[in-house]
A and B are shown apart, each in its own frame.
Chain A
Amino acid sequence: MHDIVGQTDTQEVVAMGERDLNLRRRIEVVVVNLVVLLVTLWFVFPILWEVLASIKPPIEVTANPPLFFFVPTAESWYTLLFEKGGSLFLTNSLVVAFGSTALSLALGAPTAYGLSRFSYKGRDSLAMDFLSFRMFPPIVIVIPLFIVFQSLAIKNTYFGLILGHTAFNIPFTIWLLRGFFMEIPIEIEHASMVDGCSRMGFFWRMLLPMSAPGLATSIVFSFILSWNEFMFASVMSSQETRTLPVFAASLLEHYVADWGQFAAACTLSIIPVFILVLFTQRYMIKGLTYGAIRG
């Protein structure tokens, strides 16, 4: 093009080209954001739809055509929490999730320390051994534990549920915390040792406080894993110790399914998870990939 147009024309062509480029850029911005919005909407719609259903008048939940505009009511929520005993199952879920999280952390944090800040032969393969527990299909543990817990008479108890969930949580906690512990610079460890800190003193006074984001992430993950667990809880809990997911699923098993109350139970289950994720979203990808990818 440079060869065929004269000197003055070149400037005009360049200016036109720039305008063209600007227009193309703007179109691209609009298109990209529109697609991004649609994609996000597709992923959030089912959740929003369920939250909406929980505040619809119960009869309207199964209306055909579906109801998009309505006067919100707390009827389903009221029935769920005060007539169906939803608050009991909420408490059960909280007790089990907190119990299992605390146990996993108490056992997992020292182990992660032993697997990260010490050097000895076979350390990394030992760490891999712990990770491999995470690959267990849950059914392999659930069937035998069902029989064992029954004979120990801890089936249908909080204790049994907490123990079972801990089996899934410990490997996760160890692997996640190990990644965070490894990132603390060795110089800090040397400096604290020079100042007379023992190895366990370093763990308590330096490593744990410095790994606060790691601790928070592993707590959130343990909590969510236990909060969401279904297979184990469905066979190991009685009417009194039932967790929220098991209860919510049972709402749809009756001859006349309680869709509105189910929606309320769903929303109830999402709220704590949503709050936790908001706080630790920076580290979620790291957690979901077992610490392999920084997010």
Chain B
Amino acid sequence: MSPFLRNFFSKKLGPLLTAPSWAMLTAISIYPLLYCVYLSFNDWNLLKAYIPPTFIGIKNYVDLLFDPLFQNTVQVSLTFSILAVSIELGLGIAVGMLFSSEHVKFGKVLRTVLLLPMVVTPVLIGLTWKTMLNQKWGVVNYFLAQLGVTGIEWYTSPAQALPTMVLIDIWQWTPFVALVVFATLLSLPREPFEAAAIDGASRLHIFRHITLPMLRGSISLAVLIRLIDTLREFDKVYVLTRGGPGRATDLMSIFAYRTAFYHGYVSYAAATSIVLFIVVIGLCTILLGRLTPKK
């Protein structure tokens, strides 16, 4: 190797090491994204693939805007996301604080158990709840009947299906917020809490004025991650309801998936997923900008 080349490689080694990953991601992420954008400006149905894609400009996006089914998915997605994240946040803080209590025995074992809902295959979580919520023989309605509550239809009723999906998401992801809160509490300095206790501050006061502000950073991060994940939610809901009954749980990903792989209408589905992409990336940019401390 010539001295010039050797010098170049050793100086640029850092950025050069990232090249293989860039190459790979270009092939399997950037190119597909651009291809998706291209598709969204065309009219193409896979079931009639012999007719090549025809350029139609922004017609797909205009159609989406006036498509009542798409308006419905936006509403369903936002409701799902906001409900699930806010309840997970509240419950998660409570559970996290509870587990950080000095009185808890076997905390380590129980925290490992809390990890399970997050790592079990989401599809199987959806279907496990389908078995538990079965109206005829499900174990949940059996327990509720013992308590005198009957007639809840869960995922089979249009009105109750979306709240049921929110409930399942809460079951799966509340431990996430809880464990983030727990981990952050452990890393906090003890002094402010002790000082406040000596000064006679009530527990509520300590929570409101010391704990919450100190948790703010990591909680915002957890909320951001949850917002992204709930907006692109697919697995659990798809296997449980396929977006139904009717269109009651038709999340954006499910709408795009059905349009592409049931109806073969990939160009319209591509436009839908680009809208979802813009929403998610936009949200990230706005929230991350707020989260990063200003210098």
Which A residues lie at the B interface, using CB under 8 A?
28-29, 32-33, 35-37, 39-40, 42-44, 46-47, 49-50, 53, 61-66, 107-108, 110-111, 113-115, 117-120, 123, 126, 130, 132-133, 135-148, 163-164, 166-167, 170-171, 174, 199, 224, 227-228, 230-231, 235, 244-245, 248-249, 252, 259, 262-263, 265-266, 269-270, 273-274, 277-278, 281, 284-285, 288-290, 292-295
Contact = CB atoms under 8 A, between A and B. Distances in A.
Interface stretch (B78-86, B112-120, B204-212): B112-120
Interface SS of chain A:
helix
Interface string B4-45: 000000100111111011001100110111011001000000
B113 A40 contact: yes
Nearest to B235: A230
A245 B123 contact: yes
A167 B28 contact: yes
B257 A231 contact: yes
A167 B21 CA distance: 10
Given A40-B110, A47-B116, A273-B120, A107 B103 contact: no
B160 interface: no
B218 interface: yes
B116 A32 contact: no
Nearest to B261: A235
B74 interface: no
B44 to A, nearest CB: 9
Interface string B221-240: 11001001001101100110
Interface residues of B, number: 91
A10 B2 CA distance: 91
A130 B232 CA distance: 19
20 contacts: A33-B105, A40-B110, A43-B116, A44-B113, A47-B120, A64-B136, A64-B142, A111-B17, A119-B14, A135-B280, A137-B231, A137-B232, A143-B269, A144-B33, A146-B260, A146-B261, A147-B35, A259-B131, A278-B112, A284-B119
A111 B183 contact: no
A108 B119 contact: no
A144 B39 contact: yes
Contacts of A136: 29, 33, 277, 280
B103 A28 contact: yes
Contact of A167 (B20, B25, B39, B95): B25
B104 A32 contact: yes
Contact of B39 (A143, A273, A285, A293): A143
Contacts of B33: 136, 140-141, 144
